[in-house]
Amino acid sequence: MELLRSLIFVPGNRANMLERALGFDADIIMVDLEDSVPPGEKVAARDVAAEWIPRLRQAGQRVMVRVNSLDTGLTRDELGAVISPDLYGVSVGKTESAGDLREIEGIISPLEIGANLEAGHVNLIPWIESAKAIVNVNEMAAALVRTVAIAFGAEDYTNDMGIQRTDDGEEVYHARSAVAIAARAAGIASLDSPYVAFRNPAGLRKDAGVARQMGYTGKFAIHPAQVETINEVFSPNPEDVAYARRVMEAWQEAEANGRGSLSLDDKMVDVPVVKRAQNLLALVDEIDKQLAARGRG
């Protein structure tokens, strides 16, 4: 699976920001046609976006486009304008049911054929950002083969619930947890809402850490200064990697001696603990491999 730790929003109508995005260190450049583009510029933005996708790709970026939600009437034309060989995938806001996703499939699939792309080339990230979507999240996560991740949109969600956001995020704990679990159950990635206080790196680190501990595998950025922190939080940390190596050594020794369990630092080490260590070390290898392939190792 491709890395999806950090995804940075770039407004689709701003050529100067798209140009800066050529050098961003995020796993995905998410060209936005939705919330960061004013109503009057939506149509122009889709052409600007279409023009920048191949340039970004050529600079080694993986590019996605977030289009406007089904109820705007813009979705079909925007997808038509951007789906192309250089596009990694698309993201659609405010999806609320498996039915919404099947409607999106009905748009993407013919466009994929029309563009001579392999079935499934266009990866999809739907946004879960209303109470209704939370109620349907398990079904949504499993609805389409092309869904590589689901994203939790805390601003729209709290909006829908009529609640105020706080920095510790207690008010979204239930919904935010449900999204991470639904994603994992469906075998896809889960992406956390952006942290909007973009001049508060400590707040971002804490918020990303909470998301990671809920099972999220990545997070959106709204400012390039957020990318490094997000990449760091969603990569294995050195202490965990060192501990995982110790677990594997102790386990191999115990196994050689015919014991099925052992203790390390006064905690039981059994099969689940060993599996966690193995998974972590496998992820470390995968990140190294993909970063090397991007020439950024």
**d(C-alpha 7, C-alpha 11), whole Å:** 13
Q: Which two tokens stand for residue 34?
A: 């939705």
What is the C-alpha separation between 134 and 182, in angstroms, rounded?
A: 10
Q: Which is nearer to its own copies, 108 or 214 (by Cβ)?
A: 214
CB of 1 to its own copies, least distance (A): 12
- Range list of β-strands (E), the chain: 6-11, 28-32, 63-67, 89-92, 123-128, 149-152, 189-192, 218-221, 262-264, 267-269
Residue 10: partners with Cβ closer than 8 Å, 6 or more residues away: 17, 18, 20, 21, 24, 29, 30, 31, 32
Q: What's the distance, CA 185 to chain centroid?
A: 16
Q: How far is the CB of 73 from its own copies (least distance, A)?
A: 16
Of 58 and 259, the one with the shorter C-beta distance to its own copies is 259
Least distance from its own copies to the Cβ atom of residue 168, Å: 11
Nearer to its own copies, 10 or 122 (CB): 10
Complex with its own copies: residue 71 or 114, whichever CB lies closer: 71
Give 38 or 60: the residue with its C-beta nearer to its own copies: 38
CB 76 within 8 A of CB 70: no
Amino acid found at 15? A
What's the closest the beta carbon of residue 292 comes to its own copies, in angstroms? 22
> Smallest gap, in angstroms, from Cβ of residue 100 to its own copies?
14
